[in-house]
Structure 1
Amino acid sequence: MATPAFEDIVETFEFLDDWEDRYRHVIEIGKAMPPLDEAFRVPATKVEGCASQVWLLPQIEGTGPAARFDFAGESDAMIVRGLIAVLHALYAGLSVTEVLAVDAGAELKRLGLDEHLSAQRSNGVRAMIERIRLLAQEVAAAA
């Protein structure tokens, strides 16, 4: 159920043999993301459970289960900013119902990230996924 943007990342990872190259690619896609305005880097958008500073700002279009999900994100760590970009590719443009149906662990496993991230980074990714799912649940329930 991955988006075309996420499938592009999967294809690129399959092409890149070396993990250093894959890390560089994650960092590059993070650099390509628009920065999150400083005004939105507040406690309400901060993701707890990440070793780095992480902010996710939901951008929902519509209401109820069919609402389209998107978000902006930011981190003070380049690799984490890249991981935010990977999650953005995985979720952006889906309905909130589809967001809740995504098996993020299985999708990210296709990239091999589970084997190559530190325990702290893995915990941070899980915290970001939980925040995304919580935001989608809140919108879906507001129908």
Structure 2
Amino acid sequence: MLKMAQTAAAGLPDIEDIMENFSLLDDWDDRYRYVIELGRGLIPLSDAERSDTNKVQGCTSQVWLATAVQRSPDGPVLDFVGDSDAHIVRGLVAILLAMVSGRSASEILSADPVALFEKLGLREHLTPQRSNGFRSMVSRIKTDAQAALAGA
């Protein structure tokens, strides 16, 4: 049975549960359905958050990521919300947010979401455009984390 424990990252399962669930699903059709289901768990963005400023460049599909920075004694903590107009990409956004949202800027900068993406087997099973789009999302998140550290 798939684990669905919720995290602070927009009501998504935590990244460890996502990884475990992927390992339980042998068939790629089931994995695709799971990715789509993860995307359905994202909190919808407001019209204001669907701005050009939040739009991720380098994605074939439309993708928006909005970042909120909270100051803490240990450094800035970043929370993200995101969305896409494509079901699979929306699921990829959910996986990425489960990994980075609610984490410190330093943790985000040291994380390797692309390695996780490859570990889950997504790179081999998605189009090159979607893989490049995922890398663009990661780049945007790391840029936001660097900016939060610079402003700390």
Report the TM-score, using the length of structure 2 for normalisation: 0.88
Q: Secondary structure at the match of 1:9?
A: helix
1:88 aligns to what?
Answer: 97
Instruction: Report the alpha carbon displacement of residue 61 of structure 1 after superposing the two structures with TM.
Output: 1.3
- Give aligned-pair identity as a percent: 50
Q: Deviations over 1:7-48 (max 9, x none)?
A: 110000000000110110010011011101112111100001
User: Alignment partner for residue 77 of structure 1, among 67, 80, 86?
Assistant: 86
User: Alignment partner for residue 9 of structure 1, among 11, 14, 18?
Assistant: 18
* Greater relative CO, 1 or 2 (CA 8 Å, sep 6+): 1
Which one has the bigger helix percentage?
Answer: 1
Amino acid at match of 2:135: R
Pairwise CA RMSD: 1.7
Does the C-alpha gap of structure 1 residues 76 and 67 become closer, same or farther in structure 2, counting only changes over 3 Å? same
User: In the aligned structure 1, how far is the partner of 2:59 from the partner of 2:101?
Assistant: 21
Does the C-alpha gap of structure 1 residues 100 and 13 become closer, same or farther in structure 2, counting only changes over 3 Å? same
Q: Does residue 22 in structure 1 map to residue 6 in structure 2?
A: no
Structure 2 unmatched runs, 5+: 1-8
Q: Does residue 48 in structure 1 map to residue 57 in structure 2?
A: yes
User: In the aligned structure 1, how far is the partner of 2:73 from the partner of 2:140?
Assistant: 18
Alignment size in residue pairs: 141
Instruction: Show structure 1 runs of 4+ deviating over 4 A.
Output: none
Report the TM-score, using the length of structure 1 for normalisation: 0.93
